[in-house]
Amino acid sequence: MDRGGRRGGGMVGLLLLQALSEYGRLDRKPPFTAGLIAANTLLYLRPKFLDPILPTLNQVWFNPHLIVKNKDLKRLILSALYHTGEPHLVYNMLSLLWKGIQLESAMGSVEFATMIAALLGMSQGITLLLAKFLLLFDYERAYYNEYAVGFSGVLFAMKVVLYSQSDSYTYVHGLMVPARYAAWAELALIQMLVPGVSFLGHLGGILAGISYLYLRSARSGVNPCVKIMRGVTHLLCWPLRFLNGICLRPSSGRVFGRGTLQGGETPGVWSCEACTYENPSLSSVCEMCGAESNGDGFTPTSSSTSRSESISLEELRQRRVQRFG
């Protein structure tokens, strides 16, 4: 989280180029990560068609005093999606791009989305509780009245989840540290090197990541949130799957009626030589003209063939009319 800043220029274009470059190298493009980056960027840029309906920055600052006093859930949630300047936005979105690609590719989009929702709510809630707790002590710097925005609390939580099972080492601002302690090292270094950052916001994110891992390991069975979201996603995607089956169905294969079999015989059907209708293998009589097949149900017998050759078109029409009305 950041407590202040000014808008720069041109850095959003660099973010777009970096995101396109990273996604271009991937076989599977993580959609939820791209959606999160797009949402944060749109909220910062505030295009004209969205400006009338979007809250302003002053309406969403994360301020524990105002959240508790007014029971303002808008500040509690939306403050994580707003940024004070282009450097703040671009730094957070590049971090989200790197972490999101790895986590979403490993977890799947649905589970990743539920994790992000949980980490966002938990990190903001824990930060609020920490500020309320510190109010009991007489601090010169009043965390309870601090203003902050930004996605970095969730990013700290994602880093905890990403490195939770790692035994390797990673670099944090030039220092090599054990990967599973990278979030704690970054918390200390950023607080010392970068002025105007929210210590409680970052700490709340780390504690949210630890809490999420504990709850995930403690529960048994399928996460009900994941199950619900998979059901909703399956329902919403049904029309696309239906159209895909109609429009993109390959032309090769079995064609019922007066058609041909491409690439040889198709198992489970036999073609009538009298009318070329394809019948199920369980049927010994052509459902269209009444000609018989042999015992294996795939080719007509010689007798039926000779008989079918002598059938005139008018007799074949009469048989169809008599059979199907």
Q: Is the dihedral of CA 43, 23, 118, 184 positive or negative?
A: negative
Q: In which residue are the tokens 């619900």 written?
A: 228
Cα 61 to Cα 311: distance, rounded to the nearest angstrom? 86
Task: Tell the residue number behind the tokens 């609020």, with chain if given.
Answer: 128
Pick left, alpha or beta for residue 137 (phi over 0 → left; psi -120 to 50 → alpha; otherwise beta). beta
At which residue do the structure tokens 């690609």 appear?
101
202 is catalytic: yes
Whether the Cβ atoms of residue 9 and residue 85 lie closer than 8 Å to each other? no
- The dihedrals phi and psi of 171, each to the nearest 5 degrees, come to -95, 135
Compute the radius of gyration of the chain from its Cα atoms. 32
Q: Which tokens belong to 168?
A: 């390797």
Relative to beta strand 169-172, strand 175-178 is: antiparallel
Match 């940024």 to its residue by tokens: 83
Q: Which of 123, 202, 293, 304 is the catalytic position?
A: 202
Tokens describing residue 248: 């993109």
Cβ–Cβ < 8 Å for 1, 149: yes
Selecting among 109, 123, 152, 198, the annotated active-site residue is: 152
Asked if 83 is an active-site residue, the reply is: no
Q: How far apart are CA 273 and CA 299, in angstroms?
A: 8
- Tell me if residue 167 falls in helix, strand or coil: coil
d(CA 141, CA 13): 37
Place of tokens 């990190």: 123
User: Looking at the annotation, which residues are catalytic?
Assistant: 152, 202
